[in-house]
Amino acid sequence: MTKKIELRILFLQAFPLWGGGSGTYTRSLALEINKMKDAKTAIACPESPEKIPGLKIYSLDMPFPCTFAGHPEWPVSRQYKDLTPKEITELYRSFLASVIKAVEDFKPNLIHVQHVSLLSWVANFIKLLYGINFVITAHGTGINTATENKIYVAHTKEALRNSKKIITVSNETKHFLIDTFGQEFLQKTKVIPGGIHIEDFPKEKNTNTINKKYNLNGKKIVLFSGRLTKEKGLNYLVEASKDILGDVYIVGDGPEKKKLEDQVMRMKLDNVHFLGFMGNDKKRELNEFYYRSDVVILPTVVEEALGLSLVEAMAAKKPVIATRKGGIPLLVKDGLNGLLIKAKSSRQIADACNKLLKDDNLRKKMGENARKSVEKNLTWGNLAFKIVKIYKKI
């Protein structure tokens, strides 16, 4: 009788597990896999080892915080595209030393790397040292950094070649990866988006707490949640707000916040509100905002992966308005569970918001369809099963 081999998956993640899409992806996937029989996970990341009960965390030491495009948990950080060769070497050595400690202690039989960047180089070296195969998930921002600073291309291509499988979080991210690193990676790349724990999103939720705290009673609400960066297109949302028949609430932080606040003051808008970053300690409030909002919007202007905020909003039975960019059209079907608009168009943002704000029945119908779309396609239970099938083949 063949003995069943236990999966021992070590995740490598260079960012905090809250406040960003790839961190949430890593945390959620690891927790979901831990529910399975004959599977254990651990994460090497820059988090406190005691932060998540029931999940093994190994500290990923860093000489300085470094991001692809900013991170709300790290208000002051360097960006990978701007690093000197000496700084890249310093960061790589620190990552390698930390991951070796994790490998020696956890003894994984597979490594799952997040982002095509320095940690993929580390996983490649670990494979040479220990013979441990690895999988890479490309989230988009790491690829973008390689287009901005070519110093990252050669070592990343070597890691991609030696990986057993490449996962991308959207079709657009897959195309971006192939265009950047080459057609040779087409056959080994599979699209599996991130998702949610559906049990965290009941079909109905009481929102009295935030109604009282933020004086929301009687208001029509358009919600944005995410990092405040140029890529999100929030200047177009602010411009549209003068014509939106409701209040616009912006949840998040980032390098564009001051510019956006100045734009609101310059336009003398009284219906735009900045609530700041709602991290782990305020996640309950953010969830309530999804339920309390009438519409959730993502006016991104770049080809990015499907935004987690949209998935969470749809799970809360909210219609979404989003641009036809990146992985968004994979889930948002125009006229069925939301509205798709042209990027960089304040006019279309205002028109779409008002169409939904003025029609209660249409909002409710689209919201119900949104929930069904998430239940069918984007729960972590389903997604983790697909990823574990890849692990087992390897």
Q: How far is CA 12 from CA 43, 61, 82, 102, 124, in A?
A: 6, 12, 22, 10, 12
Average of per-residue pLDDT values in the chain: 92
**What's this model's pTM, rounded to 2 decimal places?**
0.80
With a cut of 80, say whether residue 293 has pLDDT above it. yes
Query: What is the rounded distance in angstroms from the CA atom of residue 207 to the CA atom of residue 291?
Result: 7
Residue of 193 and 168 predicted with greater confidence: 168
Separation of alpha carbons 258 and 173, rounded Å: 30
Q: How confident is the model at residue 326 (pLDDT cuts 50, 70, 90)?
A: confident
Same fold, 7-195+379-393 and 198-377: yes
Contact at 8 Å (CB) between 162 and 133? no
Helix (H/G/I), strand (E/B), else coil: 72: coil
Q: Decide which of 282 and 367 is more confident.
A: 367
Nearest to 307 by CA among 332, 289, 336, 290: 332
Mean per-residue pLDDT, 336-341:
96
Domain assignments of the chain as residue spans, ordered by start: 7-195+379-393, 198-377
Pair type for strands 247-251 and 221-225: parallel
- Sign of the C-alpha dihedral, residues 257, 259, 260, 266? positive
- Model pLDDT, residue 377: 83
Half-sphere exposure of 171 (CA within 13 A, CB side): 7
Q: How far apart are CA 221 and CA 326, in angstroms?
A: 26
Instruction: Examine the pLDDT at 239 and tell me if it is beyond 70.
Output: yes
Residue 2 above 60 pLDDT? Answer: no
Q: What is the DSSP letter of 222?
A: E
The CA distance from 68 to 70, in Å, is 6
Query: Is 151 exposed, middle or buried (CB count within 10 Å of its CB: 0-12, 13-18, 19+)?
Result: middle
pLDDT value at 200 more than 90 = no
Residue 52 clears pLDDT 60, i.e. is over it = yes
The reported pLDDT for the residue numbered 53 is 78
Distance between CA 124 and CA 374 in Å, rounded? Answer: 35
What residues have CB less than 8 Å from 182, skipping those under 6 apart? 157
Say if domain 198-377 classifies as CATH 3.40.50.2000: yes
The span from the CA of 330 to the CA of 358, in Å, is: 27
Backbone φ and ψ of 165, nearest 5°: -155, 145
Q: What is the 3-state secondary structure (H, E, C) of 152-177?
A: HHHHHHHHHHHCCEEEECCHHHHHHH
E strand spans, 324-363? 338-341
pLDDT for res 3: 58
Beta bridge partners of 225: 251
In the three-class reduction of DSSP (H, G, I as helix; E, B as strand; rest coil), residue 135 is classed as strand
Q: What count of other Cβ atoms lies within 10 Å of the Cβ of residue 82?
A: 11
Residue 5 has pLDDT above 90, yes or no: no
Predicted pLDDT of residue 280: 65
pLDDT value for 308: 79
Looking at residue 237, the DSSP 8-state letter turns out to be H
Maximum average pLDDT range among 31-35, 53-57, 69-73: 31-35
Helix (H) or strand (E) holding 79: strand 78-79
What is the per-residue pLDDT for 225? 93
The one-letter amino acid code at 113 reads V
CA trace torsion 174, 177, 179, 181 (10° rounding): -140
User: Which CA distances in Å does 220 have to 44, 212, 216, 284?
Assistant: 43, 15, 8, 21
pLDDT digits (tens, 9 = 90+) for 154-187: 999 999 999 999 999 888 889 999 999 999 999 9
Q: Dig out the tokens for 206 from the structure.
A: 């009481």
Q: Specify whether domain 7-195+379-393 bears CATH 3.40.630.20.
A: no
* Model confidence pLDDT, tens digit, residues 90-123: 999 999 999 999 999 999 999 999 999 999 999 9
